[in-house]
Structure 1
């Protein structure tokens, strides 16, 4: 066992988040975190009643990285900054991204961002149901972008990515060229993202453009 160090909720969450970052969400166990502090798993239950509570706290830590946009921004710029903030918070901890949807509405930061986004959409003419749908789309798109970034998919273990990417590239480039010339040409970009910032920025621009097109149709 490692030498004991100070055990408190913040330290436990930081340790759990590091494990998730390095090894993936499935690798997180109460015992593994306890080993980081040189204590038994029971010691952690003074701070978190069970693994689900610990997972919730890890999700909250990711959401704490959000930077809500300026309230005075118009809808288009507000949406772009809100989406960028969501993506950036998740990009910092991609393996923990699946925890965000269940925690976004139970943290003050997440609730405030949601409330202000819904307000901006309402002022632009979106009814309550449509505004709620748009807010949900934003969260799901941000999560999907991060967990599915070409070359960094969280569903593939880091140690297995190179082999998986080579196999996927070989499969795509083995397709008949007369039937799938564009798929073959795009294969490298579909397998590995050459410019992550452009990948996220372009996707956010497309989403915002779609919302703004709907907003104009409401006028």
Structure 2
């Protein structure tokens, strides 16, 4: 009976089920621990059964990125371009927050699959549909960068795409000593670090990541809007610097 059950599971196996299981498993254990053997065990099949649907782990990761893209909201219709871009970027960010491993997977892809290219194309389309010139849209896409996928390279990231290990809460005396050290040796960093509320402690908690993400996104969108309204062109921009 056990063999019959396993055979039935293998019959029902398809690429979508493999990818969905891989995403769920990566959510649980991360992509470093994810392997074809571990995924096969999760699905109750022999590892060779997976190779009918994905050739190797790299192809598996390509497919998992496609699943993630499928969770991002499509472009909003009948709204001005800035709202459409902002909505989609924040939808991508919510998606990556549900799947902490996804940023690492996206950054590791060396080949753009059709679904990745389709996503990038539709993102560019929001700018072009908003009346951007091809040149301005091109530079805007460079400026948006990873925000298109819902992440950015934060100034004080300890390791991109991964969560630092938990550490002991510093004592008030240790926090005070650290602040004094920073203030004496890095006065400019000290100035910006102490300019805003950091949940009570600059050292212990750091910046409000969501606020900083949205703040930078809005700055970019406002800048794009001004250049669009000014009829920006690379020729004019170059002339202004001569």
For normalisation by structure 1, the TM-score amounts to: 0.74
Shift of 1:34: 0.8
Matches within 5 A, 1:2-151: 4=6, 5=9, 7-100=13-106, 102=109, 106-107=114-115, 110-111=119-120, 113-120=122-129, 123-124=131-132, 126=133, 128-143=134-149, 145=151
Over 3 Å counting, the alpha-carbon distance change for 1:106 and 1:192 in structure 2 is farther
Residue equivalent to 2:218: 205
Shift >6 Å, 4+ stretches: 149-152
Over 3 Å counting, the alpha-carbon distance change for 1:143 and 1:93 in structure 2 is same
In structure 1, what is the Cα distance between the partners aligned to 2:178 and 2:229?
Answer: 40
Shift of 1:104: 7.0
Indicate the SS of the match to 2:21: helix
In structure 1, what is the Cα distance between the partners aligned to 2:169 and 2:122?
Answer: 36
Where does structure 1 lack aligned partners over 5 or more consecutive residues? none
Over 3 Å counting, the alpha-carbon distance change for 1:99 and 1:151 in structure 2 is closer
Residues 180-211 of structure 1: per-residue CA shift (max 9 Å, x gap): 34266378457646755434332321221222
Contact 2:27–2:100 (CA under 8 A) maintained in structure 1: yes
Residues 12-60 of structure 1: per-residue CA shift (max 9 Å, x gap): 2122112322332222211110111232211100111221211111000
In structure 1, what is the Cα distance between the partners aligned to 2:51 and 2:26?
Answer: 19
In structure 1, what is the Cα distance between the partners aligned to 2:169 and 2:223?
Answer: 31
Residues 80-101 of structure 1: per-residue CA shift (max 9 Å, x gap): 1222222222222131123346
- How many residues were matched structurally? 210
Over 3 Å counting, the alpha-carbon distance change for 1:149 and 1:182 in structure 2 is closer
